[in-house]
Amino acid sequence: MSENVTIQALGEIFQQHQTFALMSHVRPDGDAIGSVLGLGLALEAMGKTVHYWNEDGLPDNLAFLPQSDKIKRPPAEPIAIDVAIALDTATKVRLGESNLHAASLAPLWVNIDHHISNPRYGDMNFVDATSPATGQIVYEIIQELGLSLPVGSRDAIYVAVSTDTGSFQYESTTANTYRMAADLVDRGLLVGEINAKTYDNHPYRRIELMRELLNTLELKADGKIAHWEMLDATREQLALQPEDSEGLIDMIRAIQGVQVAVFFEELPGGKIRVSMRSKDRSLNVCDVASFFGGGGHALAAGIRMSGPLADAKQKVLDSLQQALDTTNS
């Protein structure tokens, strides 16, 4: 595992090169898209050429962000770029095959992230697992290097950090997070307006999905584990988009007495996506995820594993039960 480079070293890369491709993980969330836009628009303000790629494109729920239409699916064939930058992506494979192919000519890879499970796969790495969001890391890089913070970067960084901290509620939120938010407001951020667009603007199909999920809700381990599931047939029936399920797991995480919430999602092709959220740092869901080849954070982690759904549920719930027994013994 290579050591982190300094922010000044990143600044030298930004100064020395002209063309950048910024990428984030498949099924992007607010931190993924916000971090890419936040850094990319700052690089453009330096006069750099920036490509903004995501294998799944721009989620509808983030289309309100200024200049978010810059986020494109990667080109079918590789193009000449000086530097490829992966943001908020714990493992390189999570960028997706199309991104990796499009950026395959890049002579230099930079990896900027906050996942504790990140193996530092870049030629240059800046991974801060103490940061609540990659967006906050991007803000700190921009600040330390004295770069311009365009309006688009300001709004994107706020949404990145707000969504990855549960609207500044999670334990990972730091004093620096609030200082950052205050600075963004001082720079003209309209808090009420951007929060309304982020949290109060969901399509009806998301509510239909919530109804379906609640019908599958179960409690286990004397109420310490809450889990629900979504079948691929439900996705097709409701014409769901990947972002429609974003954040719904927090509803069952909030149940009194629950220590860990689990969302099992059946994907096309028989794979199972597992999302886990813990309330208790002593129950480290990243450790559980790592056992199945996944990763993330102590309080929030994910897995992609083979199905069928019933088998995946049994394996993960048994592992969580063991973790709970160890924690509470």
**Structure confidence by residue, pLDDT tens digits, 131-188:** 999 999 999 999 999 999 999 999 999 999 999 999 998 889 999 999 999 999 999 9
Specify if 1 maps to a domain.
no
Asked if pLDDT for residue 305 goes beyond 70, the answer is yes
Q: Which residue has the tokens 């919430």?
A: 261
Of 140, 164, 199, the last residue of a domain is 199
Rounded Cα distance, 323 and 140, in Å: 35
HEC profile for 101-132?
HHCCCCCEEEEEECCCCCCCCCCEEEECCCCC
Asked if pLDDT for residue 1 goes beyond 80, the answer is no
Specify if 139 maps to a domain.
yes
Structure tokens at 188: 């003209």
pLDDT band at 202 (very low <50, low <70, confident <90, very high): very high
Specify if 130 maps to a domain.
yes
Specify if 76 maps to a domain.
yes
CATH no. for residue 34? 3.90.1640.10
Count of structural domains within the chain = 2
Based on the fold, state whether residues 50 and 159 are members of the same structural domain: yes
**Structure confidence by residue, pLDDT tens digits, 42-75:** 999 999 999 999 999 999 999 999 999 999 999 9
pLDDT band at 297 (very low <50, low <70, confident <90, very high): confident
Average pLDDT for the chain: 95
Based on the fold, state whether residues 193 and 160 are members of the same structural domain: yes
Based on the fold, state whether residues 186 and 297 are members of the same structural domain: no
**Residue type present at position 70:** K
Based on the fold, state whether residues 319 and 235 are members of the same structural domain: yes
| pLDDT recorded at residue 329 | 66
| pLDDT recorded at residue 270 | 87
Based on the fold, state whether residues 321 and 212 are members of the same structural domain: yes
| pLDDT recorded at residue 280 | 86
| pLDDT recorded at residue 296 | 87
CATH no. for residue 286? 3.10.310.30
* Crossing angle for the helix pair 191-199 and 151-164, to the nearest 10 degrees: 50
| pLDDT recorded at residue 259 | 95
Based on the fold, state whether residues 112 and 64 are members of the same structural domain: yes
Rounded Cα distance, 21 and 12, in Å: 17
**Structure confidence by residue, pLDDT tens digits, 259-270:** 999 999 999 888
Give percent of the chain with pLDDT exceeding 90: 91
Q: What are phi and psi of 277, to 5 degrees?
A: -130, 125
pLDDT band at 252 (very low <50, low <70, confident <90, very high): very high
Based on the fold, state whether residues 135 and 276 are members of the same structural domain: no
Q: pTM to 2 decimals?
A: 0.90
Structural domain boundaries enclosing 88: 7-199
Specify if 2 maps to a domain.
no
Q: Which residue has the tokens 């592992």?
A: 319
**C-beta separation of 263 from 218 below 8 A:** no
Specify if 291 maps to a domain.
yes
Based on the fold, state whether residues 177 and 210 are members of the same structural domain: no
Based on the fold, state whether residues 237 and 90 are members of the same structural domain: no
